[in-house]
Chain A
Amino acid sequence: MVERIVEINNLSKKFGDTVILDNVSLFTERGENLIVFGKSGTGKSVLLKCIIGLLTPDSGEVFVLGQNIHKFKRNEINNLRKSISFLFQNSALYDSMTVRENLEFPLIRNFKLTRKIITEKVLNTLELVGLEDSIDKMPSELSGGMRKRIGLARSIITEPKLILYDEPTTGLDPITSKEISELILNLQKKLNTTSIVVTHDLICAEIIADRVIFLVEGKIAFEGSLDELKNNKDPFLKNFFSKNIISE
């Protein structure tokens, strides 16, 4: 039986009176790329934040690598998070640190590695994302695409078992967007990680997706392959993709 990396049972989350997630249940298996589609404000990012424990659900259970993350104490969550990475929408690079320091940060803080191994890892990861020359630059000196790549490099440097991507291609031109998506796929194949990718970008989904879910008003309205989703007769889903295809 294939190992389930993430398993969510009946997850609900409200902010005030607004229901963001309503009884959501899903799972991902080892090595799988799950795409989460949905309009803005349907709870996609909240779902990711509940998976990594940044937000606490009102009800339901979230199992990550077989452990219920919301039952954990602070230091136990930190230990589990060493096996998970999160790529934020705006990359969230540390402004006050160089690219090298950004990449070194999770390694120095979480793993007992020698300086030589850390430097090797940083150089190798930057080579993977094609930005070896930017090692001593500050985040403010990088373009949007470069920031995404460095964010991606920081996410994979710890060789996590699970990577959560929050709109990894938003704000990028179609060419860079395609490059980033291909990079995500290549890295996933190389490291055999499991990925949950929140996106609006159909090009990105076409490159990465093994399976797709579609959130509407906090509920899963569709679950299946990308082709099944595209051929779905539901008027709302058809409309979503016709808009996406036009924007291509």
Chain B
Amino acid sequence: MKIPEVIFKQRLKFSEQWYNFLATMTGLTVFTIEFFRQAFIRPLEVREIKKHMDELGVKTFPIVTITGFIIGFVLALQTQPILAKFGATEFLPAMVAISVVRELGPVITALIFAGRVSSGIGAELGSMRVTEQIDAMDVSGVNPFKYLVVTRIIATTIILPILTIYVIFLAMVGCFIAVIVAEPTSLSYFIDTIIEAIAFEDLIPGISKTFVFGFLVGLVGCYKGYTTVGGTEGVGKSSTTSVVIASMLILIVDAVLVKLTALIW
């Protein structure tokens, strides 16, 4: 696996920044190819994948809980006066539900996940790289790419959609509370309105793109961590750049997927 070396300097010239950008993109492509090459080779490391899913889920659970609730609550609070002007407050649950299911839920969960998990993976693998733990694994006859990288990417790819569904549910809870604060509404009416508003075409693209986001978060974190150079300073850089690159890729890929899903559905 040949990965271009990223320049490790404090102040970079413009051309060097371009070089670094292209090197990172090439590296990510090489990593993706290597991932698909090794993901289906035995042993499948199911135990490690489960372990990472547990860790990542627990790590992000509190923050996504708060975020999910706040998204729905604030969105409903902000939108309610505007809809009231047009006498259309009965559309509030449907409007919040569609926004959260199609866009806000998946993207905000993915961005929070990137901030929490991508940096964590970058720092963890980076520290293993600079302290030669990855080399130690390699020389003990274990494939470190399979054991460390593939398992983490699979775990992030599976766990993010689950977290997103959880966030969407909490956003609806937040929305319901905001709605009953404004005007008394029954829970059954609220649920009926949402079920009527959300169609299959809203749910599938919203959830399915989180698999791609989860893959990207794992991929970027693992790539930056696995290729860390420059000692402890390099570990810090890997951690922060993981978040930046993962967030940027999530937004770019989201724009592409929105357009793509609009064509399909």
Question: Closest 10 CB pairs between A and B?
Answer: A92-B136, A81-B141, A92-B132, A106-B140, A86-B139, A78-B141, A82-B141, A88-B132, A109-B142, A110-B141
B: residues with CB less than 8 A from A are 127-128, 131-133, 135-143
Which of chain B's residues have a CB closer than 8 A to the CB of A74? 143
A158 to B139, CA, bound (A): 12
Return A239 CB to nearest CB of chain B, in Å. Answer: 31
Q: Contact between A78 and B142 (Cβ–Cβ < 8 Å)?
A: yes
Which of chain A's residues have a CB closer than 8 A to the CB of B143? 74, 78
> Does A52 sit within 8 A of B, measured CB to CB?
yes
Q: Closest chain A residue to B147 by CB distance?
A: A109
Which of chain A's residues have a CB closer than 8 A to the CB of B142? 78, 105-106, 109-110
A interface bracket (residues with beta carbon within 8 Å of B) = 20 to 34
5 A-B residue pairs with Cβ-Cβ distance under 8 Å, sorted by A, are A79-B141, A86-B135, A92-B136, A110-B141, A154-B140
> Does A84 sit within 8 A of B, measured CB to CB?
yes
> Does A98 sit within 8 A of B, measured CB to CB?
no
Which of chain A's residues have a CB closer than 8 A to the CB of B137? 94
Q: Contact between A54 and B140 (Cβ–Cβ < 8 Å)?
A: no
Other A-B contacts than A88-B132, A89-B132, A110-B140, 5 sampled, CB-CB below 8 A, are A52-B139, A81-B139, A92-B131, A93-B136, A105-B140
Return B140 CB to nearest CB of chain A, in Å. Answer: 4
Which of chain A's residues have a CB closer than 8 A to the CB of B136? 86, 88, 92-94
Which of chain A's residues have a CB closer than 8 A to the CB of B140? 81, 85, 105-106, 109-110, 154, 158
Q: Contact between B135 and A92 (Cβ–Cβ < 8 Å)?
A: yes
Q: Contact between A106 and B131 (Cβ–Cβ < 8 Å)?
A: no
> CB < 8 Å: which of B127, B133, B138 contacts A54?
B138
> CB < 8 Å: which of A78, A82, A88 contacts B135?
A88
Return B107 CB to nearest CB of chain A, in Å. Answer: 31
Q: Contact between B133 and A95 (Cβ–Cβ < 8 Å)?
A: yes
Which of chain A's residues have a CB closer than 8 A to the CB of B138? 54, 81
> CB < 8 Å: which of B133, B139, B141 contacts A94?
B133
Which of chain A's residues have a CB closer than 8 A to the CB of B128? 94-95
Return A47 CB to nearest CB of chain B, in Å. Answer: 14
Q: Closest chain A residue to B135 by CB distance?
A: A54
Q: Closest chain A residue to B136 by CB distance?
A: A92
Q: Contact between B127 and A84 (Cβ–Cβ < 8 Å)?
A: no
Q: Contact between B141 and A90 (Cβ–Cβ < 8 Å)?
A: no
Return B212 CB to nearest CB of chain A, in Å. Answer: 28
Return B55 CB to nearest CB of chain A, in Å. Answer: 10
Which of chain B's residues have a CB closer than 8 A to the CB of A90? 131-132
Which of chain B's residues have a CB closer than 8 A to the CB of A110? 140-142
Q: Contact between A92 and B133 (Cβ–Cβ < 8 Å)?
A: yes
A81 to B133, CA, bound (A): 16
Which of chain B's residues have a CB closer than 8 A to the CB of A95? 127-128, 131, 133
Which of chain B's residues have a CB closer than 8 A to the CB of A109? 140-142
Which of chain A's residues have a CB closer than 8 A to the CB of B132? 88-90, 92
Return B88 CB to nearest CB of chain A, in Å. Answer: 54
A110 to B143, CA, bound (A): 11
Which of chain A's residues have a CB closer than 8 A to the CB of B141? 78-79, 81-82, 106, 109-110
A94 to B132, CA, bound (A): 9
Most buried by A among B131, B133, B135, B136: B136
A4 to B133, CA, bound (A): 29
Q: Closest chain A residue to B38 by CB distance?
A: A74
Return B143 CB to nearest CB of chain A, in Å. Answer: 7
Interface residues of A in 190-207 (CB under 8 A from B): none
Q: Closest chain A residue to B142 by CB distance?
A: A109
Contact mask for chain A residues 154-165; partner B; CB cutoff 8 A; 1 contact, 0 none: 100010000000
